[in-house]
Amino acid sequence: MAGILRKIAIYTALWVAFVWAVFPFYWMVVTSVRPSSEIFQRPPGLVPTGITFQHYIDLLVGAQFWRYAMNSVVLTLTVTVLSVLVSVTAGYAMARHKFRGSVALPLLMLYGQMFPPVLLLIPFYVQLRVFGWLDSLWGLVPVYMSYMLPLCVWLMRGFFSQVPMSLEDAARMDGCTRWQAFWKVILPMAQPGIVAVATWVMIHTWNEYLYASTFILSDKNRTLPLSLTDLIGQYSTDWGMLMAGGVITAAPILLVFFILQKSLVSGVGGGAVKG
């Protein structure tokens, strides 16, 4: 009897946590397809009585939305590719080469993750102003990379540390150079870590709002998260279009997460535990 009650309590807690996590997204989707007249009804219904896609049409027909989407795509792909390249090479170097401070350096890098992002706003702002990179998508690239690379390098270092050195030595004895051994033997075995790093960077870059809202000043350089604030007015808010924009913004990241979730979980777990 005690075992049955325990299972009931566990499953109940899991269902409560599931509903708690999923309900906000469900409400966003439902609100995005409600007619405007139904959004403000009291009490609000869990299921819309009428369905319309006019909010999506009004949002997508504007040329500005596609400009913002392209800005987000370019920024996300650039930061992801550069972060993967740097973290893979740096992680491999830290895992394979012993030098003075090789143990302390990864820990010092992780200490940077302890600071809240808002604490770095002023230093980043001063640096971007000095280099003339304010109000530029390319100015956001080093900002995002400097904040996300420590964890990326740490994860890749953990993965490369798991690969036996004997495999690399065997490849070099067969005539491979160090680069060929790295490319043909080591890198394929670290693929889950690369997927985890790329997914993590992609999600955070796509959704980032704080730094973008501070350093991007002109309308033409805005990203999708910033564009959603245009739908929030001082005296009124177009909740239908706002929720539609939220669904469209979240959809690519959700799709990437569902496709790569197994590699992401194994990559984060393997790289973080076995450093």
The pLDDT tens digits for 82-138 are 999 999 988 888 887 777 766 777 777 777 777 788 888 898 999 999 998 998 989
Q: Select the more confidently predicted residue: 199 or 236.
A: 199
Residue pair 227/65 in contact (Cβ under 8 Å)? The answer is: yes
Domain ranges of the chain: 1-52, 63-238+246-273
The pLDDT tens digits for 167-208 are 777 877 777 777 777 787 888 888 888 888 898 899 899 999
Residue pair 47/67 in contact (Cβ under 8 Å)? The answer is: no
Task: Give the 3-state secondary structure of residue 234.
Answer: coil
Q: At what angle do helices 191-207 and 137-162 cross, to 10 degrees?
A: 150
What kind of architecture, by CATH, is found in domain 63-238+246-273? Orthogonal Bundle (1.10)
pTM over 0.85: no
Taking CA atoms, 256 is separated from 110, 176, 184, 227, 246, in Å, by 26, 35, 26, 22, 16
Rounded-to-integer distance, Cα 87 and Cα 201, Å: 11
- Judged against a pLDDT cut of 50, whether residue 273 lies above it is answered with no
Tell me what pLDDT residue 53 has: 87
